[in-house]
Amino acid sequence: MQSIRWRRICQALCAALTNSYWFSLVSRTIYQGPLKGFCVPALNCYACPLAVSACPIGTIQYFLAHGAYYITLYTIGILGITGALIGRMACGWICPFGLLQDLLHKIRSRKFSLPRWLSCGKYAALGILVLAIPFLTKQPWFCKLCPAGGLEGAVPMLILEPSLRELLGGMFVLKVLIVVFFLAAMVAVKRPFCRAACPLGAIFSFFNRASVLRLSVDQTKCTKCNKCNKVCPTDIKVYEDPNAADCIRCLDCKDVCPENAVSYTLAGFPIREPKEILQND
């Protein structure tokens, strides 16, 4: 089976598993069981009534604002282990918000490229909205603006619990505008939130060049046909820099390469799919 199909199955399973508290439709409240103590390495708002795990970005901000020593070693440990093992692969295979972006981009419309300089936006989001401002103001400012929270948390909770609607104000209007903006952008641009605004993507991007999983391109086989670049969901130049910071390790480039020039290794061991083994034998 091609990587794209495995990836869709993995994304759907992860989205379903991390949002499996269907009893919230009856209880009209969020899940409060022990699984909420686990930070899944994906952007999945814990205000979502279906969510059964904690959001790492929300947790980082909470500890910066209220923690005794400001740093959550537990959350940083989970993110660091994930990054050191697979780099930004969690963005491509686990994150439900990434799945949403992939699906919305399939809607037929005029498509646009994201200017490269906008990739710096995710680092600004991390440094300013997730780290500096929560530390200074004791408020989780990224959570206030996060479109994942708006879509997964705000909308369902306000439907389930109408009494919350009386408390809405200007911040909610801003949040809705941000959600609408990103939903529109996701249709027209490949993974705009992942590339330009996601602080979790920024954290994982630091690991792409130093992770156990690594991609490589055999330049002796590569004919620069650009099929890999066209299929790439984050518009990176695969044959120039297969371990670029924006690479979400979707492995679609490996599937489309007619020369089998793209490969990946795990701890230095090449991973070959059954069809490759059969072709070489």
When asked if residue 159 is in the footprint of another protein (CB under 8 A), the reply is no
When asked if residue 247 is in the footprint of another protein (CB under 8 A), the reply is no
User: Which residue type, as a one-letter code, is found at position 183?
Assistant: L
Q: Which of 92, 96, 98, 149 binds another protein (CB under 8 A)?
A: 149
Helix (H) or strand (E) segment spanning residue 121: helix 121-124
What is the pattern of x (binds another protein, CB under 8 A) and - over residues 27-66? --xxxxxx-xxxx-----xxx-----xxx--xx--xx---
CA distance 138 to 131: 10
Three-state SS at 238? coil
> Which of 85, 98, 101, 94 has the alpha carbon at shortest distance from 41?
94
Q: Which of 113, 162, 163, 268 binds another protein (CB under 8 A)?
A: 268
> Which of 2, 4, 85 has the alpha carbon at shortest distance from 250?
4
Instruction: Give least dist CB 114 to another protein, A.
Output: 26
| Binding segment toward another protein, per CB under 8 A, in 151-159, 181-189, 229-237, 273-281 | 151-159
When asked if residue 101 is in the footprint of another protein (CB under 8 A), the reply is no
When asked if residue 172 is in the footprint of another protein (CB under 8 A), the reply is yes
Q: Are 233 and 92 in contact (CB under 8 A)?
A: yes
When asked if residue 146 is in the footprint of another protein (CB under 8 A), the reply is yes
- Core vs surface per residue 206-242: b (16+ CB within 10 A) or e: bbbeebebbbebeeeeeeeeebbbebbbbbbebbeeb
When asked if residue 248 is in the footprint of another protein (CB under 8 A), the reply is no
Binding site for another protein (CB under 8 A): 29-34, 36-39, 45-47, 53-55, 58-59, 62-63, 67, 72-81, 83-85, 139-140, 143-144, 146, 149-150, 153-154, 157-158, 164, 167-169, 171-172, 174-176, 207, 210-212, 268
